[in-house]
């Protein structure tokens, strides 16, 4: 203990009390699967990234099966800008051509994925970076969006290019890793079920599909906000699906939180026990959510 830096030294009695307090929650998730979607500001902060890696490593050591899914929108945008590739957008989504999807795969499956793997390794864990293409884990169909032309009021279908939505999830690789010491870190790059082409998938949607296929006890979305807020901007600790849908209908849940909550509901429909939206800017948010009485975000459940 005396070899630790001063800032890492704590009262041993306090440490024992903290462990005893967390123990019932550790037992609750023992041998359960927890899928964590890592993104937002936490990915851009070395300090928060390190705390996240420590959390994931501790989950594995505690007998829990963590699966990490990550995005990388800002990093993709930065690389496209650097290469002088302009993006077109429709229905709030990037139209992804062949050239763009190659950059997406390079950034997601390359630099970002391996950086997260290395950070977990430095925290004492053992991680492996994979994509939806590995082991034919996730195959997709081409995602299309229907929009209404504001001038003619006629619906039209927009082809988003190489953007996919999960069709089939095969869990064999993840089930093998769950029995080992290795933590999977997944990038949402997948193969098309019909054409074998490479597709980019929204990371939230990808995480929901993985969590559902694994029957995860929890799916955690680390975001840039504390969770779902009421009309007084206060955090709502817990919601049922019916309550969440009602809040979307009356406008309490609005803007960018709508697709996030809808993704949570879809994950619950796929078989996830509970989905949590929490603030990734909070250090050790994962541990606060899973191992404390009050959690750290908004839990949505059936």
CATH, residue 241:
3.40.1160.10
Q: In this structure, is residue 270 part of a structural domain?
A: yes
Structural domains of the chain, count? 1
**pLDDT exceeds 70 at position 19:** no
> 44 pLDDT band (50/70/90 cuts)?
confident
Residue scoring higher pLDDT (249 or 17) = 249
Q: Give the three-class secondary structure for 158.
A: strand
Task: Tell me the residue range of the domain where 185 lies.
Answer: 31-301
Q: In this structure, is residue 181 part of a structural domain?
A: yes
Give the dihedral sign, CA 69/71/75/81: positive
What is the mean predicted confidence (pLDDT) over 50-74? Answer: 94
What is the mean predicted confidence (pLDDT) over 199-226? Answer: 94
Q: Closest Cα to residue 39, out of 23, 52, 27?
A: 52
Q: What is the pLDDT of residues 83-95, one digit of tens each?
A: 999 888 776 778 8
Q: In this structure, is residue 42 part of a structural domain?
A: yes
How big is the CA angle at 272 (ends 213 and 53), to the nearest 5 degrees? 85
Q: What confidence score (pLDDT) does residue 157 get?
A: 83
Q: In this structure, is residue 11 part of a structural domain?
A: no
Residue 209 is given by DSSP the state H
Which residues, in sequence order, are bridge partners of residue 183? 127
Annotated binding residue at 94?
yes
Q: In this structure, is residue 1 part of a structural domain?
A: no
Q: In this structure, is residue 12 part of a structural domain?
A: no
Annotated binding residue at 73?
yes
Annotated binding residue at 270?
no
Q: What confidence score (pLDDT) does residue 167 get?
A: 96
Mean model confidence pLDDT for the chain? 88
**Would you report the helix, strand and coil content of the chain in percent, each value rounded to 5?**
40, 30, 30
Annotated binding residue at 72?
yes
The tokens for 159 are 């082809």
Q: In this structure, is residue 10 part of a structural domain?
A: no
pTM: 0.88
Q: Is residue 286 within 8 Å of residue 220, measured between CB atoms?
A: yes
Cα–Cα dist 138/53, whole Å: 25
Q: In this structure, is residue 289 part of a structural domain?
A: yes
Q: Closest Cα to residue 103, out of 194, 205, 189, 204?
A: 189
Q: What confidence score (pLDDT) does residue 2 get?
A: 44
């Amino acid at each position: 203990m005396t070899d630790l830096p001063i800032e890492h030294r704590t009262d041993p009695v306090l440490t024992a009390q903290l462990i005893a307090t967390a123990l019932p929650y550790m037992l609750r998730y023992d041998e359960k699967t927890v899928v964590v979607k890592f993104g937002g500001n936490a990915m851009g902060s070395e300090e928060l990234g390190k705390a996240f890696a420590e959390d994931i490593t501790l989950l594995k050591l505690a007998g829990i099966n963590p699966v990490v899914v990550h995005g990388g929108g800002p990093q993709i945008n930065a690389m496209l800008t650097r290469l002088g590739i302009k993006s077109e957008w429709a229905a709030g989504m990037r139209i992804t051509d062949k050239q763009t999807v190659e950059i997406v795969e390079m950034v997601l499956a390359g630099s970002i994925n391996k950086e997260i793997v290395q950070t977990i390794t430095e925290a004492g864990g053992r991680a492996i970076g994979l994509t939806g293409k590995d082991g034919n884990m996730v195959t997709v169909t081409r995602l299309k969006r229907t929009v209404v032309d504001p001038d003619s009021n006629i619906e039209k279908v927009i082809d988003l290019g190489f953007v996919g939505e999960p069709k089939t999830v095969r869990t064999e690789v993840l089930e093998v890793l769950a029995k080992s010491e290795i933590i999977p870190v997944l990038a949402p790059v997948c193969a098309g079920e019909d054409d074998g082409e490479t597709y980019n998938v929204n990371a939230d949607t990808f995480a929901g599909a993985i969590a559902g296929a694994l029957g995860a006890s929890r799916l955690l979305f680390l975001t840039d906000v504390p969770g779902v807020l009421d009309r007084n901007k206060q955090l709502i600790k817990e919601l049922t699906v019916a309550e969440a849908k009602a809040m979307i209908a009356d406008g309490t849940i609005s803007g960018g939180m709508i697709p996030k909550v809808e993704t949570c509901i879809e994950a619950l429909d796929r078989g996830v026990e509970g989905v949590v939206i929490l603030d990734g800017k909070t250090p050790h948010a994962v541990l606060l959510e899973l191992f404390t009485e009050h959690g750290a975000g908004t839990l949505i459940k059936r």
